[in-house]
Amino acid sequence: MMEKLLHGFPGSVFERESASCECIPDYGEPSGVEIRIVDLNKSFGETHVLKDINLEIKPGETFSIIGPSGTGKSVLLKHIVKLEKPDSGTIYIDGHDIFEPKEKNTPREYRYSMVFQTSALFNSLSVGENVGLWLREKRVCTEARIRRIIGEKLRLVGLEGKENMMTSELSGGMKKRVAIARSLAMNPDLILYDEPTAELDPITSDELARVIMSLKKEVNLTTVIVSHDLNFAFHLSDRVAMINEGRIIEVGTPSEIRKSDNPAIKKFLYTTTKGIAGD
């Protein structure tokens, strides 16, 4: 899974060298993509996990998918990055079916990256080496430019000057930020977070939220977050989708979701253990 996401650019892009500039032409500024999910269904054996999912995410939007555990949130995320293939239905990125054979797809190549629950850093590498790994493996830029990109991305996540630290020296929150910096090094048009606050305490989760909020101001990309952390999702998101028993039951702004009269949403939101006041 990591191999596909970290090295997901088409190979032909990287077979070209550019002697006249520091990076290959395809490595440009990110541009947020539109996502449209149509009648998506997925079963594993006799378990129907995703049921007629329909969803639209706007270019440049920060969009969260919330819902109880085991309702298909992460499975949906894996479909967006083509780690899973639907039984029926499809997903369009900027109007093009991502599951069609490549020769039938003619959009510009969009870049995507995923930040895993576990951060998935390489412990044998330093912070800077983790962030620059994809750039170096794909020979995207000159070494001098790669070093500058590493510094730029670490600055964006509040870890400026930490290039030489080893991952074993990092706290959980710092590892998450390094994982984000590594994803940003790809200049992705789409970045996905799978339970980004998993195993983080509330203070560290708040710091991570500030990092993602600051990225919205500096980087033009589409962000999709899967989270059970309601305060985190509501604070960051332009819109939120609630998934329950494999179906999208409501989509709206955080304020609209909070005010929903849907019994399943009210049951999920208003419980005293989630930090949102209940009866």
In a domain, 138, yes or no: yes
Q: Where in the sequence is the domain holding 147, given as residue range(s)?
A: 2-9+27-274
In a domain, 143, yes or no: yes
CATH of the domain at 60: 3.40.50.300
How confident is the model over 71-112, as pLDDT tens digits? 899 999 999 999 999 999 999 999 999 998 765 555 557 788
Least-confidence region, from 16-20, 254-258, 270-274: 16-20
Interval 157-164 mean pLDDT: 91
Using alpha carbons only, what angle is made at residue 134 by residues 131 and 137, rounded to the nearest 5 degrees?
A: 130
Interval 22-28 mean pLDDT: 71
In a domain, 20, yes or no: no
In a domain, 117, yes or no: yes
In a domain, 142, yes or no: yes
Higher pLDDT, 198 or 39: 39
In a domain, 15, yes or no: no
Please, which pLDDT band fits residue 17 given cuts at 50, 70 and 90?
Answer: very low
Please, which pLDDT band fits residue 233 given cuts at 50, 70 and 90?
Answer: very high
Number of domains the chain contains: 1
Higher pLDDT, 141 or 46: 46
Helices of type H across the chain: 2-6, 11-14, 73-80, 127-137, 143-156, 172-184, 202-218, 230-236, 254-258, 263-269
Task: Provide long-range contacts, Cβ within 8 A and 24+ apart, for 57-61.
Answer: 57/222, 57/224, 58/34, 58/222, 58/238, 59/31, 59/32, 59/33, 59/34, 59/94, 59/222, 60/32, 60/220, 60/221, 60/222, 61/32, 61/222, 61/223, 61/238, 61/239
How confident is the model over 47-75, as pLDDT tens digits? 999 999 999 999 999 999 999 888 899 99
Q: What is the mean pLDDT of the chain?
A: 84
Interval 15-25 mean pLDDT: 52
Res 9: pLDDT = 42
How confident is the model over 31-43, as pLDDT tens digits? 889 999 999 999 9
In a domain, 18, yes or no: no
In a domain, 192, yes or no: yes
